[in-house]
Amino acid sequence: MPDTLTLNGGNDALNGNINRATAKSSSKKVPNPDTEAKESRNPGSPLTLPPGFTPEKYAEFISAVQLIVGKENVDLITDAAQLIHEHYTDPSKAHDMHNVVEKTYFVASAVLCPRDVKDIQDIMRLCNQFEMPVWPFSIGRNTGYGGAAPRLPGSIGLDLGKHMNKVLEVNVEGAFALVEPGVTFFDLHDYLVKNNLRDQLWVDVPDVGGGSIIGNAVERGVGYTPYGDHWMMHCGMEIVLPSGELIRTGMGALPDPSRPHSEGLRPDQVPGNRAWQLFNYGFGPYNDGIFSQSNLGIVTKMGIWLMPNPRGYQAYLITLPKDEDLSKALDIIRPLRLQMVLQNVPTLRHILLDAAYSGNKKSYTDKDEPLNDEELDSIAKKLKLGRWNFYGAVYGPEPVRNVLWSTIKQAFSTIEGAKFILPEETTEHPVLQTRSGTLQGIPSLDELAWVNWQPNGAHLFFSPIAKITGEDGMLQYSMTKKRCKEAGIDFIGTFTIGMREMHHIVCIVFDRYNKAKRDRAHWLIRTLIQDAAEHGWGEYRTHLALMDQIADTYCFNDNAQMKLNETIKNALDPKGILAPGKNGVWPSNYDKDAWRISAPDAF
């Protein structure tokens, strides 16, 4: 193994996007992918070996892990030709389907499907023995953020959802569910419907419903009912630590002799405390936070609060004609949201997001460059929409809804040209029909459509947080729009309104088979992250390729928070096996600078 390693040294799996700087590797550090090992690849050995592994050591690990999970639950990735799953409905478990660097870069060497918690514990113990990096995921859709792919090439992917996919409990009295990693939003919704529980309880769902409830909540994803902040609404977790040890958080740490169970159960099989899904905090330090967007544990069970059926519901759309209406709208939205007149997580969508839902770019224009104001106005006219379109809902019995809706209408009527539309009154607004389902917890796949704006459409999300003010919103929007134009990419975005802030979600759509366009998208997001940081804005979540860059922007007091995260990481995972590099947190046995990914040179 060479002493000085180059991340991109002739490795055809990589491209110019990867940091070319050579990285000194001390004997203690785990090196970058080793081209020598790669070129002398034995038939049957993985496409990308984990760093520091010889084919022989890797084969030894695979033999040992097959004894744990069974051969049928080990899928070796030996050939780029295996990376063919490229659609949401048939997702890859080994690579990023929306790849912004070469698709063979962020790729697992094998995917394991543990059958239960004990398998996971045994796998973790084996990984510690071999110092094998392992990347857990629940379903692996994670669209726009890296899919199922690991941050560290060659890691073992841990597909938790294949076998561990049970709704363990739905409790009507307490309005919660306890689920395993493989339970999707569709699954839980279907469970409620099949068991005649939908009349009592709703599950909050994100834009598309095929993701895991656990995966989405731990990544702090959002939905659109009043229960839209999924992390806020989770309650109680069971976690396998990197050592293989099993913990339960909050009230789950307290044994409950009142719950019936027989002797001889493994700890993961023992029924949880009856307040586990009712009270988040338990006693002592509140641990759950360190297992969110983290590489400190594998979540094997999680509670999620369900929304009692509000006994009445009405979705609505408010269209706003002008670009600058964004400013006024946000200043109207803030007090309404704070007072909970806006009860749910509403969204203020740019016309092109709705246009892309209804057709690809070619269906509107032959132009490749970003559309100008005139063209956007003409699309809005054609679709009977505004430049901005606000989708919300009111919940509760009719008198309650009437008061809320008239207050909302009155506030928005101060914007000239605002129009108010209910889904029951129109057949012309397909997005409103979909949103009407989503905002009452009915999952769908409809919103996948906008990714086809470009041929072979893939996307990245740039998702900075902002104050809900006209000033901040306009500034963030203008900055983004200007950079999109420079990159030759249409601005497609939405403001998703949280309790006191908004997630500005910019959908950077590109042709995944066109390297030049991919590079533009990559340049754009890197530039936006930097621009945002210069304004004091940070992103809430990101793609694998950008984790280090964003982590670097959260640098108060000489990166004190990262130092804390690294201290915890090294204490809980001394061999650095669990998801090295996730969200920029690298264990001490990795040379984090050598693993950085930088912007493409030019476009």
Q: What is the 3-state secondary structure (H, E, C) of 98-130?
A: CCCCCCCCCECCEEECCCCHHHHHHHHHHHHHH
The least CB distance from residue 468 to ligand ADP, in Å, is 26
Task: Compute the residue count for the chain.
Answer: 603
CB atoms within 10 A of CB 146: 27
Please choose, from the candidates 235, 248, 231, 217, the residue with its C-alpha nearest in 3D space to the C-alpha of residue 175.
235
Among 299, 439, 524, 597, the residue binding ligand ADP under the rule CB under 6 A is: 299
Q: How far apart are CA 391 and CA 291, in angstroms?
A: 32
Q: Report the residue number, 210 or 423, with the smaller CB distance to ligand ADP.
A: 210
When the beta carbons of 137 and 586 are compared against ligand ADP, the nearer one is 137
Furthest C-alpha separation in the chain: 74
Task: Indicate if 58 belongs to the active site.
Answer: no
Examine residue 439 and tell whether it contacts ligand ADP (CB under 6 A): no
Q: Which residues contact 448 (CB under 8 A, 6 or more apart)?
A: 88, 208
Query: Can you name the residues that pair with 457 across neighbouring β-strands?
Result: 511
Neighbours of 373 (CB within 10 A): 10
Subset of residues 21 to 60 that bind ligand ADP, contact rule: CB under 6 A: none
153 is a contact residue toward ligand ADP (CB under 6 A): no
Candidate residues 218, 320, 355, 379; the one interacting with ligand ADP per rule CB under 6 A: 218
571-590 positions binding ligand ADP, by CB under 6 A: 582
Q: Does 226 bind ligand ADP (CB under 6 A)?
A: no
- Applying CB under 6 A, the span of 43-51, 132-140, 379-387, 548-556 interacting with ligand ADP comes to 132-140
Give the range of 137-145, 257-265, 447-455, 559-567 binding ligand ADP by CB under 6 A. 137-145
Residue with tokens 């390693």: 5
443 counts as binding ligand ADP under rule CB under 6 A: no
Cα distances from 565 to residues 287, 373, 459, 568, 572, in angstroms, run 13, 45, 29, 5, 11
Q: Does 301 bind ligand ADP (CB under 6 A)?
A: no
Exactly one of 13, 183, 214, 594 binds ligand ADP (CB under 6 A); that residue is: 214
140 contributes a contact to ligand ADP by CB under 6 A: yes
- Does 421 sit near ligand ADP (CB under 6 A)? no
Binding flag, residue 139, ligand ADP (CB under 6 A): yes
CA–CA distance, 517 with 514 (Å, rounded to integer): 5
Task: Single out the segment in contact with ligand ADP by CB under 6 A; choices: 63-71, 208-216, 398-406, 479-487.
Answer: 208-216
C-beta neighbour count of 324 within 10 angstroms:
14
Q: Which of 46, 114, 215, 223 binds ligand ADP (CB under 6 A)?
A: 215
Which CB sits closer to ligand ADP, 160 or 348? Answer: 160
160 is a contact residue toward ligand ADP (CB under 6 A) = yes
Quick one: 234 or 526, whose CB is closer to ligand ADP?
A: 234
The Cα–Cα gap between 442 and 175 comes to 17
Smallest distance from the beta carbon of 87 to ligand ADP, in angstroms?
Answer: 14
| HSE (side-chain half, CA atoms, 13 Å) at 96 | 25
Q: Write down the catalytic residue from 105, 145, 191, 357.
A: 145
Q: Which stretch binds ligand ADP (CB under 6 A): 111-119, 133-141, 227-235, 304-312?
A: 133-141
| Of residues 340-399, those binding ligand ADP (CB under 6 A) | none
Residue closer to ligand ADP, measured from CB, 73 or 476: 73
User: Edge-to-edge strands of the sheet including 156-159?
Assistant: 74-76, 110-112, 156-159, 134-137
**C-alpha to C-alpha distance for 581 and 545, rounded to whole angstroms:** 10
Kindly name the residue from 391, 540, 590, 596 that is annotated as catalytic: 540
148 contributes a contact to ligand ADP by CB under 6 A:
yes
| β-bridge mates for residue 69, sequence order | none
One-letter identity of residue 555: C
Site map (CB under 6 A) of ligand ADP, residues 86-125, x = contact: ----------------------------------------
Site for ligand ADP contains 599 (CB under 6 A): no
Positions in 174-203 near ligand ADP (CB under 6 A): 181
Query: Helix, strand, or coil here: 410?
Result: helix
Identify whether the C-beta of residue 277 lies closer than 8 Å to the C-beta of residue 249: no
Q: How far is the CB of 461 from ligand ADP (least distance, A)?
A: 12
CA distance 592 to 467: 32
- CA quadruple 28, 30, 31, 34: dihedral positive or negative? positive
Q: How far is the CB of 550 from ligand ADP (least distance, A)?
A: 15
User: Using an 8 Å Cβ cutoff, are 460 and 508 in contact?
Assistant: yes
Residue 545: CB minimum distance to ligand ADP, A: 13
- Close Cβ partners of 158 (under 8 Å, ≥ 6 residues apart): 111, 112, 114, 120, 123, 134, 135, 136, 137, 298
Q: Confirm if 387 and 481 have CB atoms less than 8 A apart.
A: no
Q: How far is CA 69 from CA 111, 115, 120, 132, 163, in A?
A: 11, 7, 9, 16, 11
Give yes or no for residue 277 binding ligand ADP (CB under 6 A). Answer: no
- Name the minimum Å distance from CB 462 to ligand ADP: 18
Residue closer to ligand ADP (CB basis): 141 or 522: 141
**152 contacts ligand ADP (rule: CB under 6 A):** no
Nearer to ligand ADP, 136 or 226 (CB): 136
The yes-or-no answer on residue 349 being catalytic is no
As a whole number of angstroms, the distance between CA 237 and CA 288 comes to 7
Residue 224 a catalytic site member: no
User: Which residue of the chain is nearest ligand ADP when measured via CB?
Assistant: 215
Separation of alpha carbons 490 and 321, rounded Å: 19
Q: Which residues bind ligand ADP (CB under 6 A)?
A: 136-142, 148, 160, 181, 211-212, 214-216, 218-219, 298-299, 582
| Residue positions annotated with a catalytic role | 145, 540-541
